[in-house]
Structure 1
Amino acid sequence: MTGTAGADTHPVDEEGRSAGPHPKRRTFTAWLRRHRSAAAAGAGVAAALALIVGTQLAPKGDSVPLSVHNAGPGGAKAVAEILGRHGVSVHTPNRFDTALEDLRASSSPTLLLYDRNGILGEPQLAALMAAAHRVVVVSPRLETLTGLDHGIRQAGVVPDAFPILDPGCALPDAEAAGQVTGEGGYVYDGGTSCYRAAGTAGMLAVSSDGRLAVLGSTEVLGNDKLDELGNAALGIRMLGASPDLVWYLPSLEDVAVGGSPKTLDDLAPGWARFLGPWLLVVALAAIVWRGRRNGPLVFEPLPVVVKAVETAEGRARLYQDGRAIGQARDNLRSGLLVRLAVKLRLGPGATAEDIIAAAARLLGRDSAEVRMLINERPATEPRLVAWSRAMDKLEKEVMDR
């Protein structure tokens, strides 16, 4: 009989003695014991994969320049954290409609706009200006300044000789902040200009009504240099005047699409309507002029017989163009040895030393002299030519005997 009390009881024989673990359990235990190294390695690989997947799926900040979620050198997470500690609610809409809703939900909101790709059009910029109490634009493009329509214009870049800029104006925010980073910044004309370099336009320009401020440097608000000079002070004073700050970075999803796309006729200039047909006429004339046949095709039977001298000259030119002095020397030497072996009747098994010794005996010369000539390795083209002439002379002397 078998035991039935408990799930882990082992089979027993007729006398009540345990028969040991179940056969399947014994098989698995034996397999695990034999493959314990592979099982341990598999468990390690699974743990590493789980760690990698968990790391990749963990929430991360973005890498968008001047984003409040970007903790890198080009991000603006630090200034957003400081503004939050001073009681400023920083809203980060990712769409144009959401940004308008955030602005209209506050009584006197401040808008920070960084449209580095010039995505927003004039109607969108006008709507943002109307909904915001104050707008701070960072490094705007020409199209953005034109759409904002507050009399501020681009005027160049900050000279490399001025990495640090002084306020140089009577604006309270600039005077309180003091010096800021000017490296890589842009300058603007119009309104009240601050942070001028050598009499040029200012890196900070504020419109006459005070509703628009143009800051020509992302370095002032970036994490990398926020703790230098008065960068943090200028950023906090410009952005922290209102309890609500809408930090808006337009993306490709905000591109305004309307109407039908322009055709080639719409994009082409007016004079292209005359140039196109004229180019067509010229192309047809060129086809008629150069495309006519000069006569029937001539068929040449193959294979074509090429003279040996032409092949030799062609190969010689290739060697000359490639500066293959060593290859040319080896070919000349091997050809000479083959011809001398045939003349001296030494047979196909003769070595170079056998051929040199036989040629020396035939000519009555010292074998060392003949060996030195045949085994010479010219290093320049003139020496190769002289050596080949000496080899040709040696061959003629042997052939004449």
Structure 2
Amino acid sequence: MVTQTPPAGARNGQNGGRNGGQGAEPSARQVAGRRWRSARGVVAVILAMVLIALVLAALRPSTSPQALDPTSPKRDGGRALAEIVRQNGTPVTVARDADDAVRKSGPGTVMVVTRTERLTGEDLTRLADAQVDLLLVRPTSFALADLAPRVRRGGATFEDAADPGCSLPGAALAGPVALHEAETYEVTPSATGSVTACYKTEYGGPRVVQVQYAGKSVTVLGSASPLTNRRLTEEGNAALAMNLLAPNGGGAGSSVVWLVPDIPEEGTGAGQQSLGDLMPFGVKLFLLQLLVVVLLVALWRGRRLGPVVAEALPVVVRSAETVEGRSRLYRAGHARDRASDALRSGARERLVPLLGLPRSSAQDPSAAQEIVTAVAHRTPYDETYVGAALYGPEPLDDAGLIALSDVLDDLERQVRES
């Protein structure tokens, strides 16, 4: 296919038409497009903030201040279980602080400890020193460190039903229970005291752990579901909860002290929660999914990387058009620094072979003095003039940039003719 080059007059007419078109007033659509391109970054940030706010609002825990309160008839309260235990002959006493709970405890008492995030360090010390069996419901990591040092938090899990899979009498009699969202635990072996782990997950993490030491038992329950009014009737939840609160079937001599700490006053040192304790299960699941997505995107993008492949250009662009297009970009961005660097770099690349120097020295700062000296010997200019031309500062205006281009052309011409 043969293409004819238009005559010079036609090309000049076309260029004039383009230049004339550039001077015309932009249309409303073009103005709107420019405004959208300039504002889309801000819009994207605002939309991202709104999306994050919606996600956090959706994942916010739905527990009420009366959660696990034995006097609360709400869905997450424990009034139904407390009444059932009382009807079976075991008195249930409610305590609102650790001191009151210890005073009301005695031989044969099981103390149910809930909302451990409200307990201070002094409260945890009093409970650890009390000679009473403890039932810890979803304790924080700080509460575990003081009340069950051999038990550590593992991770969160969500399963509708689980089998006991252990020899703990209360769990074996209850059978499968619906724990729903629950914490798993890791137990450190010890030569003193026995450990019973129940309701293990697929990966082996138990959700109910009972540790025997110092003449008392500490049971860690990783889910609040078996104690709540909403979940009490599911599977064997009621049986498990009653067996944990009254392990010997209740009766004479047995009692339950249900500790629901009030929100402590400011400055009492409460609120000992780690970052994992503060994050709801939904947020943890969201972060895990986000991490998986990032890894998948990284792998997808990583597969696209490979060796550089040389391909034929779909069209041939004349060098003059390339130079003109790049110069217009420099002018539009007022990038005189980049334009002057490109002019000087190109001049050095062309001068170095003429001076008999290696090509690598053209962009080597350590070879600058050698290049300046060699050029000064081949031209009538001194080293100061040559150094300012090849390595000088950025021109102050467009006229200075044009003057620099003329100086570099003159230096190259002088070297070629010498």
* TM-score, normalised with respect to structure 2: 0.43
Q: Which has the higher helix share?
A: 2
Q: Which has the larger radius of gyration?
A: 1
* TM-score, normalised with respect to structure 1: 0.45
Higher relative contact order (CA closer than 8 Å, sequence separation 6+): 2
